[in-house]
Amino acid sequence: MENSKGNLQMADQGSSKWHIFVWQTHLKPMLVAILIGVYVLIALATVISLLMNGIRPGKTLGWLLAIFTIPVGGVLLYLIFGRNRRRNKMFSEQNRIIIGEGSRLGDCMGELPGKGTKLARLIQRTVHCPVSCANELTLLRNGRKTFESIFEALEGAKELIHIQYYIYEDGLLADKLLEIFERKIAEGVTVRLLYDGIGSFSLSKKYLGNLQAVGVETAQFLPYKFGRFLTSINYRNHRKIIVVDNKIGFTGGINISDKYLKGDPALGKWHDDHLKIDGEAVDYLNQVFLSDWYLASGKKLDMSQFVPVPKLGAHGPLQIVPSGPDDDFDVMEQAYFSLINSAEKYLYITNPYIIPNHAILQGLMTASLSGVDVRLLMSSTTDMKLVDWCVRAYFESYLKAGIKIYLFPDGFLHSKVLLCDDRVVSIGTANLDNRSLQQNYEAQVFVYDSELCESMRRDYLEDCEGSRLLTDHKAFSKRPWLNKLLEGAAKLLSPLL
C-alpha cells in the first residue's frame, strides 16, 4: 500500500511538472502571441479610424503619439475620450426625433436688427430653430427665486410636466418636487423625469422608488454600466429643462441640489442664472426633452399631441440651441464663435469653466485687440483644483491681449452667460470648455432683446465692482514658478476637462 501511494504521488508530481513544462514552453508563449496580435489589430484599427475620421490634425497627431508610446493605455484612453461621435453616432438619424421642426413655430427673424441676423441664420441652419418672438421672458437669479418660480409653475400644471436635470440630488428640493408630483398625478397630470446617469449618480434608490410609486415616469440617460463604459462615460447630458403644459419652460445653469439654498461648505453660496420662458418657444424646448427621452427610455412620443402656445402680446425674440456629440457640426462652438466675432462695443462673459480651444481663444483675443471691451467674470476658485489650474493657465494670454479678468469672491459663480452689445444675450448650460462645446449634450438660449441685455449688463457691472480685477500682464507673469508648472501640466489635459 505504501509503495502504491508513493507511486501515485510520484505520478502526480510528474504530471504536475509536465503541465508546468507545457504551459511555460508552449501555451504561455502562444497566449502572449495571441494577446499581442489582438492588441496590434485593435491598435491598427484605431489608427486607421483616426486617420479617416480625425478632423483636427493636431489632435489626431496627439492621439497617434499616445497610442504608439503608451502600450494598451493609449488605445484605452482614445476609446474612452477620443472617438469622434459625429462619425459614429449614438443612435441613427432615422429613429431620432428630429428636433426643430421650423413649421411648428413662427419665424420673426425679419424683425431683428441687421447685426443679429447672421447669428440667427447660423442657428437656424444648424439646429433648425427659427427666431421665435411670441414669448414672455423672466430672468431668475440664484436658487431661491428660481425654485419659487418653478414650484409655482408646477403647481399650475394641467396636462404634463417634463423635467430633465444633469444633477438631481436627494434633499429638501427633491422632497418638495416629489410632493408636487404626487399631487399633480392625482389630478391627472402626466409627469416624466429624465436624469443623467453620472451627474445624478448619488440619487438614492429609495427616492427613485418613491417617484415610481406615485406614478412618475423616470428614465436614466446613459446609465453607468460596465458593458457601456467605453461608449457612454465621456458623453453626459448636461441639460436642465422643465416644461409645463408645453406653455411654460425653464432652462439655465441651476441643478436640483440643496447647495443652491444652503450653500457649499467649501465654496460658500452658489450663484447662478436661469430663464423662464412663457410662450411658443417652449414647444422647441419640449422637442429637445422628447429627443433625449427617446434615447434614454426607448419610448417615442407623438409630437402632434404637443401644440405650440404663443404668448399673446409678448415680444421676446429668442432661439434655443441644443448641442451634442452626435451633431453634424460643433453647434455650440459655432454659435459662441459667431457671437464673439460679432461684438463691436463689449463682450461680457460669466462662466466658471473658461478653458477655450484655439478658435475661441483667438476670437476673444482678436475682439479685445480690435477695441472691444472684453471681460471675463469667474469665481476666485472652482469646485475642482485641477480645473482651477487649467482655467488660470490661459490668464497670461488674456491679459496680454487686454482682456479684463474679474475674480468673484463671494461664493461660487456657476452662471453661463454671454452679453454682447446690448443686443444679444446667451443663457444656458454650456461652459466655455471642450467638454461642453464638443462632448456633452447642452442647451443654450440666445435672446435678441435689448431691454434684457441692458438689465443684465447693469447686474454684470455691479458684480465686477465687487470682484478682484486682473489687468497687469507683467505682474501676473511673475507669479511663483510652481503655479506656472501646475497650470502648464493641467493645460495639457484641457481637451479632456
Distances (CA, A) of 83 to 59, 196, 229, 431, 433: 11, 21, 13, 21, 17
8 Å CB contact between 352 and 412: yes
First-residue to last-residue Cα distance in the chain: 72
352-380 per-residue burial string, b: 16 or more CB within 10 A, e: under 16: bbbbbbebbbbbbbebbeeebebbbbbbb
448-463 per-residue burial string, b: 16 or more CB within 10 A, e: under 16: bbeebbeebbeebeeb
- State how far Cα 471 lies from the chain centre: 30
Active site residue 414: yes
Q: Which of 162, 184, 240, 276 is catalytic?
A: 240
- State how far Cα 100 lies from the chain centre: 20
Q: Which of 271, 292, 414, 463 is catalytic?
A: 414
How many other C-beta atoms lie within 10 A of the C-beta of residue 329?
13
Active site residue 478: no
Q: Which of 184, 238, 247, 274 is catalytic?
A: 238
Q: Which of 292, 416, 449, 463 is catalytic?
A: 416
231 burial level (CB within 10 Å; 0-12, 13-18, 19+): middle
Q: Which of 162, 196, 245, 274 is catalytic?
A: 245
Active site residue 19: no
Phi, psi of 431 (to 5 degrees): -80, 175
Distances (CA, A) of 281 to 123, 132, 165, 241, 287: 14, 6, 19, 13, 10
Q: Which of 421, 433, 449, 463 is catalytic?
A: 421
Beta bridge partners of 373: 346
Single-letter code of the amino acid located at 156: G
Single-letter code of the amino acid located at 187: E
Active site residue 274: no
How far is 27 from 19, CA to CA, in rounded Å?
Answer: 10
How far is 479 from 486, CA to CA, in rounded Å?
Answer: 12
- State how far Cα 390 lies from the chain centre: 18
Active site residue 416: yes
**Known catalytic residues?**
238, 240, 245, 414, 416, 421
